[in-house]
Structure 1
């Protein structure tokens, strides 16, 4: 294997493919493993410069993290990459009890040492960190994250404070320095980084609002990786920052024209998202000729095999007759007395997807919803994913590697609940 530039652990599957997109656009060959790779699996991909492991920590407890993350970080750290990135969602949604980014930070620091840089801003996704406060685009408008129409009301990890140091202080006792945007623009970010190291700070949070600020942070990361730190936390802004630094130093070639996705006649969409964005996409898909099938959420949560069989039969029939179908657990925000149950719903939709793929031979599949993607894809028996083509920012087309012929080469799109235009499902079918 060639020397690795970078390794990452995605706290959900959707965000992991976002990193694959950034690496592909930056000319960095990469592979995303869906289970912890052994030497034989690594040997199947000798030419990659970056590797990732898609996880499910975003929907898990700190106790789960204590049990699973040390081994995952050790395995990735042993692959020789100078930096290991714990990839979070760009909305940074988490809590002390679910998806604790603070706990992941502590585990990574204990495993790899050094100060832990944090970079959340991802302007390519409409995410901006300014003076430590997070802002995100929704509906064409920029909202402070605690006033965001979706994230402020997230059913599992609602964001009720925009100050990310306050947010993290609820999850970790780590002392976190801040490099603000004015100091970054003034060229003082590296000085602030070194001061934080000298003062024994556990972490430093970097503002990020545009390509210039990301490029400056990337320069600092590249200069000090493997020396003053080996572990970083944040969105795909970390990836973007490093790519800008690698390109500036001539470590990776300039980007080339990207391939285009081909259109397909048949598409299966599995949605466990309760986002208003996904609800609008389901409605638009219905107008575009998709058959929409509503799941009985209570039955799926109760483990009803009869309900899974019903959904498989309806999806198979729709694929055969119309070529396109959406199976969904919700169409918009849940009622106040309804449990989100992302793990149970996602796992059920994954089993249904696998059955439909095997029975129909369909070759393109879209998962909508972060938890749905993580728990659904985990049920399908895939080994790894490679980037295939761009579709919409943050939701690329990827191609599966699997031992089972019916699944090998399957094309997937893993879409976060808030991602994509109203006609996104049809965009996936048409290939752009």
Structure 2
């Protein structure tokens, strides 16, 4: 395709739908691909989000996949590139945000050249940046539940310091008072930082208006790196989008049919609350235990046999979600990588079995779980629909398991969504 306005690279699958959701809400027709497509001839959209599963890969692999995505998006004549990471800046001292940013800038501008921003702020989901420090709600990132993340524990809220540890480029800061002064003030600050040889600017944002202001200042910037929040301010830079009438909906999906199910692998605070709410509502649920899987028990068949007679009566929940202390105990017994892999494989096989039994409306909670599920279902493209909660839309996908019948899927980042998310999402979908 040609005339692609925005080409996006996301480092996990739920993050990709989070980004696509914000673009659709701002009026962009958006398609999400699972991995780098073989070609782009049949894809017609204002924005394409290439979803990778690179957040926790070794840095060299994450860079390789990201550059492949960049090359494909450039072949589609993308006017601007967007590297999307988590709103909690999930990474380690070795990456992968810094190494991927370096590689993308190198490819676009040459070694150690170019300029971009870093801004994970998403105020609608309680992620704000002030004086370069990332807050989750009212607490610093380092004091939030992210300090216990099993793969990317975040123990430093100072994004300038975190980013500088990951990149060979110099990192600077654009403070909120500059942002509040408007797009021209931001551009002038960018110019001043560049004169100081800064190539990556952490940008403060504490409200949606800040995101709109920053977005206007980014017009024409070849590479933007951010969480999904910045996406709400970018579409205003293309006049052809503003010219569309209100009848031109960017979030239309086909009608939803079939049974309903929830697969939850995230152990975040938000997802724990959602699992509890679902169970307290009296709906059927079944836990998946990594230790039982490791012992060789056929957990997948057991879950599917339990779920099959219940599906006609409403949504069922299958979950590996648990409290941090329980997660730590399992990791100490099995090792964090093996424990995660066992759960992801089991949940993805369960999802496949549910689809085979007639489920056509599926919620998946957790980035790693979502990646495993859509890969097992062999999903290639996702059409982005309406938002359920900030950062989480319904999508429509095709899978070879359904012979052309569309499946509606919502991929939820572990930290997103209200406590009643699992129950209200299906009500919203039926009302479309």
Question: Normalized against structure 1, the TM-score is what?
Answer: 0.88
The answer for the alignment partner of 1:430 in structure 2 is: 427
- Partner in structure 1 of residue 78 of structure 2: 81
Q: How does 1:395-406 map to 2 (within 5 A)?
A: 395-406=392-403
What displacement does 1:343 show? 4.2
Instruction: Indicate conservation of the 8 Å contact 1:90/1:121, yes or no.
Output: yes
Q: 1:183 to 1:250 in 2, by over 3 A?
A: same
CA distance in 1, matches of 2:258, 2:4: 38
Partners of 1:265 and 1:429 within 8 A in 2: no
Measured after TM superposition, the shift of residue 202 of structure 1 is 2.2
Shift of 1:172: 2.2
Counterpart selection for 1:345 from 339, 343, 348: 343
Question: For residue 146 of structure 1, what is the aligned residue in structure 2?
Answer: 142
The structural deviation recorded for 1:403 is: 4.6
Can you give the 5+ residue segments of structure 1 that lack an aligned partner in the other structure?
none
Distance 1:112 1:251, change over 3 A: farther
Distance 1:84 1:260 in 2: 26
1:112-123 alignment, distance < 5 Å: 112-113=108-109, 114-123=114-123
- Specify the alignment match of 1:22 in structure 2: 22
Q: Aligned pair in 2 of structure 1 residues 270, 301: CA closer, same or farther (>3 Å)? A: farther
Q: 1:184: Cα distance to partner?
A: 1.9
TM-score (norm 2): 0.88
CA distance in 2, matches of 1:342, 1:83: 35
Q: Distance between the aligned counterparts of 2:245 and 2:115, measured in 1?
A: 31
The alpha-carbon distance between structure 1 residues 391 and 81, as it changes in their structure 2 partners (threshold 3 A), is: same
Gaps of 5+ in 2: none
Of 145, 148, 157, 2:152 maps to 157
Give the alignment's Cα RMSD to 1 decimal: 2.4
* Kept after mapping to 2: 8 A contact 1:25/1:255: no
Q: Find out whether 1:109 has 2:101 as its counterpart.
A: no
Contact 1:6–1:50 under 8 Å retained in 2 = yes
| Aligned position for 1:44 | 42
Structure 2 CA distance for partners of 1:251 and 1:209, relative to 1, 3 Å: same
Are the aligned partners of 2:11 and 2:51 in contact in 1 as well (CA < 8 Å)? Answer: yes
In structure 2, the partner of 1:269 is 262
| 1:185 Cα deviation after fit | 1.8
In 2, the alpha carbon distance for the partners of 1:283 and 1:367 equals 16
- Name the CA distance, whole Å, in 2 between partners of 1:134 and 1:255: 36
How far did 1:272 drift? 0.7
Deviations 1:264-297 (A, max 9, x none): 7732111111123212211221232321111121
What is the alpha-carbon distance in structure 1 between the residues aligned to residue 123 and residue 330 of structure 2? 34
Q: Distance in 1 between matches of 2:260 and 2:428?
A: 11
Q: How far, CA to CA, are the matches of 2:22 and 2:246 in structure 1?
A: 11
Deviation at 1:92, TM superposition (A): 0.9
Q: How many residues end up aligned between the 2 structures?
A: 414
- Aligned residue for 1:202, secondary structure, equals strand
